[in-house]
A and B are shown apart, each in its own frame.
Chain A
Amino acid sequence: MKSETGFDPALYERFPTKEPRPEDEEERLYRPWARPKGWEYLTAVNNNYVGLYYLGTAFLFFLLAGVLALLMRVQLAAPLLEVLPQETYNQVFTMHGTVMMFLFAVPAVEAAGVLLLPQMLAARDLPFPRLSAYAFWIYLVGGLCFFASIFVGLAPDGGWFMYPPLTSRAFSPGINVDFWLLGIGFIEISAIAGAIEIIVGVLRTRAPGMTLDKMPIFAWAMLVFAVMIIIAFPSVILSTLLLEIERALNWPIFDASRGGDPLLWQHLFWFFGHPEVYIIFLPAAGMMSMIIPTVARTELVGYRMIVLAMLATGFLSFGVWAHHMFTVGMPAMTTGFFSAASMAVSVPAGIQVFSWIATYATGKPRFNVPGLFTMGSVIVFVTGGLTGVMLALVPFDWQAHDSYFIVAHLHYVLIGGMVFPLFAAFYYWIPMVSRRALSERLGKWVFALMFVGINVAFMPMHFAGLMGMPRRVYTYLPEHGWALPNLISTIGAFTFAAGVLLFLVDLARNFRPRPSGKAAGNVYGAGTLEWLPNGLYNTRSIPVVTSRDPLWDDPALADDVEQGRYFLPGSVTGLRETLVTSPIRAEPQYLQVLPGRSAWPFAAAIFTAGFFLALTVQAYAFSIASAVFALISMLRWLWETDRHVPVDEVDVGAGIKVPTNVTGPTSHGWWAMIILLIVIGMIFLMALFSLAFLWSNKADYWAAPPAMAAALPVLALNLAAVGLALGARRLLRTGQGWAIAALLAAALAASCGLFMENTLWRAAGFHPEASGQAGVTYALQALQIAVVAVGLLMALNCWARSLRGLVTMPANTSVDLAALFLAYVGAQGFIAALFPRLLGLG
């Protein structure tokens, strides 16, 4: 067998070990993971707690948004009802869509990842537990405050995709839109933090031997999901930032009368918005691919085809965004490309559906509740998929656009593709964390009510849409003939809600207080590692994986793992630890000491949410104070990490030794930084696209930029920043003094470059309020200010750490990552100076 890292795979044969384990070993393992008490639950960072908190909160938002949906259905049950005034109705449909998409769907699948992945991969935890905790708290606090806006009549009311000019200051003067734009800010931070955690977790903390080809399909799905977030979310970050800038500072980025373009918003929003559908669908499909083989009692048919289909979905989903814009008058040729891609994306989805059907066909399916939900999901999702193919045809889309046909289509896709699999997952995985499975009897009623409910609610909407009923109307006239389908839809919606209510009853029965005991365990007889006996530290020891369904292939595995006969049966350092493995073949590389409980992620999240919310209500002093406290909390949290482990090499089981202090491309921190730089790079790339879009579509408003020759010092300073930062990485190997000096010099060079660039544009008479071109150019500079500030802070942090003797050479992650970041800052500054001038040459 080939090796990826030089590790000898023959060493795996030492497991399971035969000699008896030391008596106090399990106690030593448990101690750093001990259950929190009282207020310490706020400081918990391990995935068992954070994952559950996360999932519970996401489900709460599902219920809240569901109540809003019922309010809408009551209003539309008959013509000319006045249950909700028109303005309130606008807020209700906007909040329903926003909460379902941003506060329920994405966080719910991310939560499932945080909760399940360490168990499936047999890791002790994900590699950045404090980041997970921060992502959760910012989501909870921000989400609740955002939702509360509806109770005071300040909820956003421009629809969940917030098109300008409706949402520009001129047509939406209140702060409702700002609540959406800034409220979405912390959801974006939370989603991206979670995505970084998931990518590094899946690629670097798998159990030894779990090659990519043996990885659970849910882990594959979460990997593709997280990569898609990294690529797609920057676009919505930029678009919300630009619209908020336009509203707050009057920079006319989307104002057609001053050289901006509202279509730019649509491009930016849907570049995120359509992949978002697949971002939600893929993890749910991953859950289906885990549940169906267990329900059918056979191996998954077409594992590799499904993985390929998920990857293909990820790629193709970025080529379909403009099918939401077929009616805006795009060039016919472009429309054709998007139509073709929109049809093509149904192929990989079809591959997955056929694989599931084939798995059922080759196995002996059980008609238990998880099984019923997966079967229901296939039917509902395929129905939605078929109307999706219809809508990919441009002439049909022109007819159905913005009608109730679209509402029906998207609900079939999202409920079939995400909600049903999630309920299947609840029924399937709850025994893993609870003392017993949910009720089969009640569960079948839940399924029946939900399945009937969705079809009765949404099938008539196809007809209402084809009869001409536009979406988002708060009432209609009796002579339109839409009364009957609407009444049926309302009955269906309440039937669906009855199913959800019954599920809550079942859930309450299951989780009612009672003496603690072990989880019910593997009640469905599954073959994957999350069903190993587990505690707060997950599995007692980390097994060697030799197949895709290890529990089916080695019946003794669970007992051997529980007896500590595999990797890391105790805690070597007395702290929380996990084994970091190589990305492809999962060969042991080093021991990561995980950070323990901390209040700082919680504090940082509270103040970050405070910053955004205070900004929304224009309490600027409070906002600045919150930002400062958030920064202090983050620095304090980081200060406690990256500590030198006194032992350079440790025995992780059976005499196999791995290092503890690792830096550079081998370290998990380096991977996280690279992913973060991709996120920032994507935001920057979308900003460049925005400028190019205005240059192409608003030529009448385009002015010649400052001369290229004048920019040479700016370009040189940014190149110097890159050189100094890369030099710092080299100097890190020889001595810390010069390395930190080089970091500070790199930050200084980038700052000077930025200052000069800004001066040049102002001297050339460009004012950000003057045109879309100037607005986007100054927005590019604002992005540069943000990264320069972060780079400077990182350099100062390294300096402070070196003064306190915390920078231990040659392996030091803080300095290494700061150098990497500052090299990026210089490169971005270089392009930010060059690109706007290149557009002026044409």
Chain B
Amino acid sequence: MRTWLILLAGLLLWTAHFFLLYGIGEFVGETTGPRILVILPNLAPAAASSPPRRR
């Protein structure tokens, strides 16, 4: 059950992430500020999914 919940949470996260990006593109615009705004939510999951550093 825990695995399913994690997977479901991942899908929900993707959805929130996608609509956030769409919202920025649609309602905020395409200047440098919004572009940086778009990069940030993309960096967060990328950082989270990177393999743990070895000690």
Contacts and interface: CB of A to CB of B under 8 A. Distances in A.
A341 B30 contact: no
A318 interface: yes
Interface stretch (A103-111, A119-127, A308-316, A663-671): A308-316
B15 A333 contact: no
Contacts of B4: 212
A333 B38 contact: yes
Contact of A332 (B15, B24, B27, B30): B30
Contacts of A333: 24-25, 30, 34-35, 38
Given A337-B21, A584-B1, A331 B26 contact: yes
B7 interface: yes
Contacts of B22: 319, 334, 337
A696 B26 contact: yes
B26 A311 contact: no
A152 B9 CA distance: 52
Contacts of A316: 14
B40 interface: no
Contacts of B35: 333
B18 A334 contact: no
Contact of B25 (A308, A312, A337, A584): A337
A311 B27 contact: no
Contacts of A584: 1
Nearest to B4: A212
A343 interface: no
Contact of A312 (B11, B18, B29): B11
B19 to A, nearest CB: 8
Interface in B1-55: 1, 4, 7-8, 11-12, 14-15, 18-19, 21-22, 24-27, 29-30, 34-35, 38
A696 B27 contact: yes
Contact of A315 (B1, B14, B24, B34): B14
Contact of B26 (A308, A312, A318, A334): A334
Summarize A's interface: helix, strand, loop or mixed.
helix
B46 to A, nearest CB: 14
A692 B34 contact: no
A315 B15 contact: yes
Contact of A331 (B7, B19, B30): B30
A316 B30 CA distance: 24
A832 to B, nearest CB: 20
Contact of B18 (A311, A319, A332): A319
Contacts of B38: 333
Contacts, number: 40
Contacts of A332: 30
Given A332-B30, A333-B35, A333-B38, A315 B25 contact: no
A312 to B, nearest CB: 6
Interface string A268-312: 000000000000000000000000000000000000000010011
A332 to B, nearest CB: 7
A337 B15 CA distance: 12
A584 B1 CA distance: 9
A692 B14 CA distance: 23
Interface string A332-356: 1110010001000000000000000
Q: Which of B4, B25, B30, B35 has the most CB of A within 10 A?
A: B25
- Interface hub of B7, B12, B26 (most chain A Cβ within 10 A): B26
Contacts of A318: 15
B11 A337 contact: no
B42 to A, nearest CB: 10
Nearest to A335: B25
A319 B12 CA distance: 12
Given A331-B26, A333-B38, A311 B1 contact: no
B14 to A, nearest CB: 6
B30 A319 contact: no
Nearest to A332: B30
A341 B18 contact: yes
Contact of A308 (B7, B14, B15, B30): B7
A337 B18 contact: yes
B25 A331 contact: yes
Contacts of A693: 26
A123 B27 CA distance: 48
A334 B11 contact: no
Contact of B8 (A311, A331, A334, A692): A311
A319 B1 CA distance: 27
A227 to B, nearest CB: 12
B20 to A, nearest CB: 10
A311 B11 contact: yes
A476 B55 CA distance: 71
A319 B8 CA distance: 16
A696 B34 CA distance: 15
A243 to B, nearest CB: 21
Nearest to B27: A696
A315 B12 CA distance: 8
B25 A319 contact: no
B10 to A, nearest CB: 9
Contacts of A331: 25-26, 29-30
A696 B35 CA distance: 18
B36 to A, nearest CB: 12
A311 B7 contact: yes
A309 to B, nearest CB: 11
Nearest to B21: A337
A308 B8 CA distance: 9
Contacts of A315: 11-12, 14-15
Nearest to A314: B11
Interface string A692-715: 110010000000000000000000
Interface string A210-253: 00100000000000000000000000000000000000000000
Contacts of B8: 311
B1 to A, nearest CB: 7
Contacts of A692: 27
Nearest to A316: B14
Nearest to A333: B25
A352 to B, nearest CB: 16
A333 B33 CA distance: 13
A299 B37 CA distance: 47
B41 to A, nearest CB: 11
A695 to B, nearest CB: 9
Contacts of B14: 315-316
**Interface-centre pick from B1, B18, B27, B34 (highest chain A CB count, 10 A):** B18
Contacts of B29: 331
Contacts of A311: 7-8, 11
Contacts of B30: 331-333
A299 B26 CA distance: 46
Contacts of A337: 18, 21-22, 25
A316 B15 CA distance: 7
Closest 4 A/B residue pairs (Cβ): A334-B25, A315-B11, A319-B18, A333-B25
30 contacts: A212-B4, A308-B7, A311-B7, A311-B8, A311-B11, A315-B11, A315-B12, A315-B15, A316-B14, A318-B15, A319-B15, A319-B19, A319-B22, A331-B30, A332-B30, A333-B24, A333-B34, A333-B35, A333-B38, A334-B22, A334-B25, A334-B26, A337-B18, A337-B21, A337-B22, A337-B25, A341-B18, A692-B27, A696-B26, A696-B27
Interface of B: 1, 4, 7-8, 11-12, 14-15, 18-19, 21-22, 24-27, 29-30, 34-35, 38
Given A333-B34, A333-B38, 15 more contacts: A311-B11, A312-B11, A315-B11, A315-B15, A319-B19, A331-B26, A333-B24, A333-B30, A333-B35, A334-B22, A334-B25, A334-B26, A337-B22, A692-B27, A696-B27
